[in-house]
Chains A and B, each alone.
Chain A
């Protein structure tokens, strides 16, 4: 029983940090694609 609780707490800590890193990565990709689109539009103008 104690092993399940220890595993759950470790998952919460490291899982939380990894999910936050993934969230930053997704935001970075979205910003990059927005910037690409914007520069493409500028070139067309």
Chain B
């Protein structure tokens, strides 16, 4: 294993431990939410990383269509898997939080609904990619769909600003609407989950690349 990769894994492990400490011990209970504020740090960070993952897919799709290099398609495909993982975590943790604070796990709130649409859009894209055996066709159309699906991310993000919503608006033009301790914990949470995403993306990309190479080699040998 190369040194930068070992350093990345070690830094991720250390920041992950700091994240757990800050979420469960450092952050004080909130005035209205009490201990439930701890859900917040495990809900917002995966949501941010899910948006980031789909953003990476968008960039990789554009790069593939421009350069026609398969590695961009493999990276974009790996990022979709991780985006779906973190969107699922966001939706489930959001449902538990909604049940505790709003009295019902699902309220068809604009943020909930648009995030569900986002999840469905990228799940369809993943199913499409898995169902096409022609590598070039999969990369070509997968990249186009990777671009077409991205407005769902923007819609999910701006939904709380353009529609009436129950969802709290934490990030405003005036800054974070929370105390210093909670703001610091949120910052560490975002860094920790982003690092975990990078590590998982690295592992998924390497595995997908190896699978691609092996499939290609097997095909050339069978001719």
Instruction: Tally inter-chain residue pairs, CB-CB below 8 A.
Output: 62
Q: How many Å lie between the Cα of A34 and that of B218 in the bound state?
A: 10
Q: Are A31 and B89 in contact (CB under 8 A)?
A: no
How far apart sit A26 and B34, CA to CA, in the bound complex (Å)? 40
Interchain CA distance A35-B211 in the complex, whole Å: 10
The interface size of chain A toward B, counting residues with CB under 8 Å, comes to 22
A window 1-45: CB within 8 A of B: 1-3, 5-6, 8-10, 12-13, 16-17, 20-21, 24, 27-28, 31, 34-35, 38, 42
Interface size class of B (residues with CB under 8 A): 20 to 34
A12–B95 CA distance with the chains assembled, in angstroms? 11
B100 & A10 in contact (Cβ 8 Å cutoff): no
Q: Looking at chain B's contact residues, is the secondary structure mostly helix, strand, loop, or mixed?
A: helix
Instruction: Assess whether B207 is in contact with A8, with CB atoms less than 8 Å apart.
Output: no
Q: Which residues of B contact A16 (CB under 8 A)?
A: 85, 88-89
Given A2-B36, A9-B96, A9-B97: A28 touches B42 (CB 8 Å cut-off):
no
Mask, B40-65, CB within 8 Å of A = 1, is 00110010000000000000000000
A5 to B99, CA, bound (A): 9
B96: which of A3, A5, A17, A27 is its contact (CB, 8 Å)?
A: A5
CB closest chain-B residue, reference A8: B96
Contact A5 B196 (CB under 8 A): no
8 smallest A-B Cβ distances: which pairs? A9-B93, A13-B42, A12-B92, A9-B39, A16-B89, A2-B35, A9-B42, A5-B100
